[in-house]
């Protein structure tokens, strides 16, 4: 898991009292290739905006309370049923916008197992399967 360049600056400014940061809802997106440190909502290699794909909104109740430097999804996060091929999903991103192609990537991580999403498949993340860790 990595913070984006944008998020690194936000965290540093927050820690050093240069700015207050309260992100609001976080949106989970899926990517077919590495998003990159400088990724935005429009350049993160996100699955195409078609075939039933949409970013999934999360809230504070969607996540566990951080402990031992990590936090995980507390609830299952399920994407809509794919109505066509989404490609092979390799990464996830958390963004601050739900609209496809906009927003800032806060962080991203590589999936343990890549998944080819085809028509009729539903991408799901059971509780504790998305882990964000700082060390």
Spans of all domains in the chain: 2-133
Segment 81-133, tens digit of pLDDT: 999 999 999 999 999 999 999 999 999 999 999 999 999 999 999 999 999 98
pLDDT of residue 20: 87
Contact 95, 7 (CB under 8 A): no
Segment 12-68, tens digit of pLDDT: 998 899 988 887 899 999 999 999 999 999 999 999 999 999 999 999 999 999 999
Q: How many CB atoms lie within 10 A of CB 102?
A: 12
Contacts of 46 (CB under 8 A, 6+ apart): 29, 30, 31, 32, 93, 100
Contacts of 106 (CB under 8 A, 6+ apart): 3, 4, 6, 7, 23, 26, 93, 94, 95, 96
CA of residue 99 relative to chain centroid, distance: 13
Cα(90)–Cα(115) distance, integer angstroms: 7
Cα(121)–Cα(63) distance, integer angstroms: 24
């Amino acid at each position: 898991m990595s913070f984006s360049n944008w998020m690194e600056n936000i965290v540093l400014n927050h820690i050093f009292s240069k700015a207050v940061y309260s992100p609001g809802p976080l949106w989970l997106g899926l990517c077919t290739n590495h998003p990159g440190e400088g990724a935005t909502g429009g350049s993160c290699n996100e699955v195409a905006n078609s075939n039933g794909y949409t970013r999934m909104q999360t809230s504070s109740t969607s996540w566990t309370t951080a402990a031992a430097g990590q936090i995980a999804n507390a609830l299952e996060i399920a994407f809509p049923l794919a109505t066509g091929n989404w490609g092979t999903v390799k990464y996830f991103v958390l963004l601050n916008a739900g609209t496809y192609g906009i927003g800032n990537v806060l962080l991203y991580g590589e999936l343990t197992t890549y998944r080819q999403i085809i028509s009729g498949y539903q991408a799901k993340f059971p509780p504790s399967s998305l882990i964000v860790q700082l060390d």
